[in-house]
Structures are given as C-alpha cells and as structure tokens.
Amino acid sequence: MTVSHLRAAVTVSETSSFTEAANLLELSQSSLSRRIADLERILKVQLFHRTTRSVEPTPSGVDLLAQMRATLVSFDKGVEQLHQQASGDSGSITIGCLPSIAASFLPGLIREFIRVHPDVRVEVRDALTTQVVEQVRSGAVDFGITAASNRERDLTYERIGADRFYCALPRWHRLADHESVEWEMLRDERVITFSPYTSISRPVAMSLEAAGVDSDSTMVGHNVGAVAGLVASGLGVTAVPGLVRPLMEFAQLAFVPLRPTIRREVHVIRRKGEQPSPAVERFIRPMHVKHEFLE
C-alpha cells in the first residue's frame, strides 16, 4: 500500500467520479482504476459502488476512506514540515550566550530572524563563559556566543566583533567627569572584580597587572547586577565591557573609557566538524557582518 493508493481513493471519494479524479491526479482512467483495484485487493474490501452514473463509497468504505483522508492530511503536513526544516523555515534553535549578549546584542538579531522565519522556535540560555563552553560541547545548545579567553581544541571559534572596556563608578566619583581613565589611575581605588569564571576577569587582571595595579580584590562579584550594586554604594570601582553597560543602567553609574584601550573579542563557538542545520546557518550568517556597537 502506498500514498498514491490512498490519494487515488480519497480523490475518487471527494469527486464521486473516476473521470474527474483521474484528471485531478493527472492519470489515465485505466491507471486510476488499477490503483483502486489494487487497494481493494490489499485491504480485501470493496471501497466503492460503481454504476454508469455514480460512484459511492460502500458502508465499509466510508470508515476506511475517512481514515485514509486523515492519514493523508497528517502525511502532507509532515512532508511540509520536513521541507520547512530542511530549508531553515521551521524547527528550533538553542543558543548559549553571555547575559550581556542576551540582553544587548542578541535581541536585534532574533527579531530580524523571526521576522523572516516566524515558524522557527528560538531558545536563549544565558550563562557564564565556562558554562556556555560546556553547553556547546555537550550539545545542549546549537551554538554559543561568548568572549572566551582560551580556545578549546574540540570547538571552532568565529570572531564576530569586540567591545572595549570602561571604568564603571558612581557619578559623584572624582574620576566620573574625566574623558578617559588610565589603568594606573586605579592604583588608589578599591577595584571590585568579577569571578574568574566570567569573560571579564582575565583581561581586566592582565591590564591592571600591566599598569602596576594590585589586582587582588577584597570584593568579587559573580554577576553584573551584584557588581553594579557594590559600585553604586561607593564600595569601589570596576572595569566592564561595553556590552555589559546596559545591564548596569539601573545603578545610575558613570562609564568612562579606560586607556590604554583593551578589547574583548566576541566569538560564535560550535562543535568542530558538526554541520549546522539550515535554520542555525541562516541565523549565524548575519553575525559575520560588522556590528558597530561591537567594535
């Protein structure tokens, strides 16, 4: 039994005519008759009463034809879904990324993507850098967007941009009105640092060390909100990438560019050797275009 058998029977049932059904299916009447006869032989039941004037389902045929119709609807829907998924027009995408990426850079990309591909489901899992790397490695996400300092051999890294660092401090602070802040100017400040599991910790520690500033801190924050609150209360200052700034606006801080400028490179990371789905490929492609706010 094939789909063409079922489609032939359902079309005859809907048109009540072998001639009209043959025309719709682009078959000769003899070919259509053979398909119906084959189907009746396979099912061991007569599906239609045929006269010179009409074609009507038999009592047994009524129920069977209803089941055939439902089967074809399900089949056609499934085939359409396969086509859509193969073309990137349906399916799902799961993205692992830094909270700062999820809040600032990613929404615009998602909005444009679902405008063109409204049937693709997008899930965002924000996490620290080390967690994003593990999400990608384990297959929990299709790809990650992060600023990893170290490169893992089993992953691929595609640079999509970078953001520069700012000194975040209370608006009343003596350095808040400066056009820029030298790293060495933080020597007399209590610097609040981020957890070493973040993408912020290492470049900041290296810059402070190069400027001769003691990078040991009495306060360490694991998330942006906590660090912003500590800075706003006057407990110290911190250094943050540009993409993190929107997450700290609630604390009403001042952000002054740090000199010399250092940049945090942002990459799309994927499992090496894995072929992305069409939907993933279409989502990632626009990220290779230069984004001004990432430079």
Q: What local confidence, expressed as pLDDT, does residue 292 receive?
A: 45
pLDDT along the chain (295 residues), means of 10: 89 86 88 89 88 82 86 81 67 89 89 89 90 89 86 89 92 94 92 87 89 79 90 94 90 94 90 85 76 49
Q: Pairing state of beta strands 143-146 and 263-271?
A: antiparallel
Q: What local confidence, expressed as pLDDT, does residue 199 receive?
A: 83
Q: What local confidence, expressed as pLDDT, does residue 255 receive?
A: 96
Q: What local confidence, expressed as pLDDT, does residue 89 receive?
A: 64
CA-CA distance, 65 to 49, in Å (whole number)? 13
Q: What local confidence, expressed as pLDDT, does residue 293 receive?
A: 46
Sorted by sequence, the CB contacts under 8 Å of residue 237 that are 6+ apart come out as: 167, 168, 169, 173, 175, 186, 189, 190, 191, 192, 231
